[in-house]
Amino acid sequence: MIDTIPDILARIVAKKHEELARGVPPTGQWEREAELRLATRRDFRAALAARTPAIIAEVKKASPSIGLLQADFDPARIAAAYERGGASALSVLTDESFFQGSLADLQSARAAVSLPVIRKDFTVSSAHVLEAAAHGADAILLIVAILTERQIRDFREAAARYRMAALVEVHNRRELDIAIAAGSDLIGVNNRDLTTFEVSLETSLRLAEHMPAGAIRVSESGIHSAGDIAKLRAAGFTAFLVGGHLMKSSDPAAALRKLLSGRVAKNAIVLKICGITNQEDADAATAAGATAIGFNFYPRSPRYIAPERAAGISTASGVRRVGVFVNDSRQRVEEVVRIAALDVAQLHGDETPADYPATVAVWKAERMSRQFRFSDFKNLPAEALLLDGPAAELYGGAGKTFDWSLLDSTTPAAAGRRIILAGGLDAGNVALAVAVAHPWGVDACSRIESAPGQKDHKKMNQFLQAAKAALKV
């Protein structure tokens, strides 16, 4: 393996084996400590899936390619700044010989925040996996260039036993194929060429189409702007590991917020216009105050739009792109999500959580009736429930209202559920619907059209103004 990898990586790996050979690792002690930390492990993968884009902000003192990054290096202070800036997770370098890091850095950074932390090091032994678990890591890095397929699988499974995730890092198609064969579902593409140390986002873009369905895609290195993130998001990447750019900033929290300046505000009130089929209607909806626009990918809908056509309809920063699906496979949904650069999958069929895409938020649509019970959806892994009118023969929205008195201001909250109201809403009834049901957001389509898929801009504007007033936006 050493003979086939770049010189710097070969020297690092040789050093790791040399360190292991110096003495017998205290595996018994590490096992006990790892067991004690099980209850406090933080879910690294879930943190990346919870928002788009998700930033893994890196804490490192130095690197072989750049040298010293911060002389006054304080992992806890840096970690706290990253959390203030909106990071989803942290990466902490623990290699001592080449990066001047340590496991103490990881522990210090993790203790200062509530974020999950990945130990970024060069794992070549099961002892390294156990060591990471014993010292509080929530995830480990596995670099395909220095491991066999069997080692990747074994180390992933060992990490899982201690409730740690494993980010599997690749640099080219051959390594990606090995990662996939090893069962990896959290895959990072390192944009740095380990032979020349040159960095190019094209590495991620080239490999994007070969990524497996259901995997969380992480792009690593060379990310300096919100524009870089937008370009990578369009290729299907939802998480981004950023190190040197943040470490060299005098204000890392501000630098992180700038990177995220194009991020969709997931907690914003939802004012959604669905059934968008053209740029003119998308622009008019945004100008009138819509915070989300919907594309219908159900082939039997009169508002159906091909994913490639939806991809060509641009949206303003902060406006969520929602795709409507009916009983599509998870693989198909994730493919459309990638093509159309969606932020949310709105599922209108009989989908179960096993069908939910891993790469975006989910809004699960349900038809309202007197038999509906919030308790049936208490543990549903969806960001919101979208409640539509009862129309047993129709999927993807029927344009009919339901009895809003079936809801009240306490029921959704008691169920811990965000509610989006849909079904026959327009400027004339949205205020009453909001007053009765107290939703998180509202969704309009057929009542604000001049024809299916063609919005009446006057009706749309009136609806949005009435909805904003009712929801106190």
Has 190 been annotated as catalytic?
yes
Least confident range from 68-72, 260-264, 463-467: namely 260-264
Least confident range from 46-60, 97-111, 133-147: namely 46-60
Catalytic entry in 108, 184, 221, 461: 221
Q: Is residue 423 scored above 80 in pLDDT? A: yes
Catalytic entry in 88, 91, 190, 191: 190
Q: Does residue 59 sit in helix, strand or coil?
A: strand
The pLDDT tens digits of the residues spanning 359-379 come to 788 899 988 766 666 666 666
Catalytic entry in 16, 61, 120, 468: 120
Residue where a domain terminates, one of 228, 262, 296: 262
Which range scores top for mean pLDDT: 321-325, 429-433, 436-440? 321-325
Mean predicted confidence (pLDDT) in 203-216: 91
Has 102 been annotated as catalytic?
no
Has 334 been annotated as catalytic?
no
Has 221 been annotated as catalytic?
yes
Do both 297 and 426 map to the same domain?
yes
| pTM of this structure | 0.61
Do both 283 and 249 map to the same domain?
no
- How far apart, in whole angstroms, are the C-alpha atoms of residue 215 and residue 48? 11
Chain mean pLDDT for the chain: 88
Catalytic entry in 60, 61, 272, 364: 60
- How far apart, in whole angstroms, are the C-alpha atoms of residue 312 and residue 98? 45
Catalytic entry in 83, 131, 175, 220: 220
Q: Which residues contact 2 (CB under 8 A, 6 or more apart)?
A: 10, 13, 14
- How far apart, in whole angstroms, are the C-alpha atoms of residue 141 and residue 273? 41
In this prediction, residue 107 has a pLDDT band, given cuts at 50, 70 and 90, of: very high
The pLDDT tens digits of the residues spanning 26-58 come to 989 999 999 999 999 999 999 998 777 899 999
Do both 25 and 52 map to the same domain?
yes
Instruction: Please tell me what DSSP assigns to residue 199.
Output: B
Q: Enumerate long-range contacts of 417-421, CB under 8 Å, 24 or more apart.
A: 417/374, 417/377, 417/378, 417/380, 417/384, 417/385, 418/383, 418/384, 418/385, 419/384, 419/385, 419/386, 419/387, 420/270, 420/272, 420/363, 420/384, 420/385, 420/386, 420/387, 421/386, 421/387
Do both 235 and 330 map to the same domain?
no
What is the pLDDT, as a whole number, of residue 291? 93
In this prediction, residue 405 has a pLDDT band, given cuts at 50, 70 and 90, of: low
Which range scores top for mean pLDDT: 196-210, 346-360, 448-462? 448-462
What is the pLDDT, as a whole number, of residue 148? 97
Q: Enumerate long-range contacts of 448-453, CB under 8 Å, 24 or more apart.
A: 448/273, 449/275, 452/275, 452/302, 452/303, 453/275, 453/277, 453/278, 453/302, 453/303, 453/305
Do both 253 and 359 map to the same domain?
no
Has 366 been annotated as catalytic?
no
What is the pLDDT, as a whole number, of residue 389? 73
Has 220 been annotated as catalytic?
yes
**Is the CB of residue 273 less than 8 Å from the CB of residue 397?**
no
Do both 194 and 305 map to the same domain?
no
User: How many other CB atoms are found less than 10 A from the CB of residue 84?
Assistant: 14
User: What range defines the domain where residue 280 resides?
Assistant: 270-471
Q: Is residue 412 scored above 50 in pLDDT? A: no
Do both 466 and 393 map to the same domain?
yes
Mean predicted confidence (pLDDT) in 190-214: 88
CATH number for the domain spanning 195: value is: 3.20.20.70
Mean predicted confidence (pLDDT) in 264-272: 70
Has 472 been annotated as catalytic?
no
Give which of 389, 412, 411, 391 is closest to 402, Cα–Cα: 389
Q: Is residue 393 scored above 60 in pLDDT? A: no
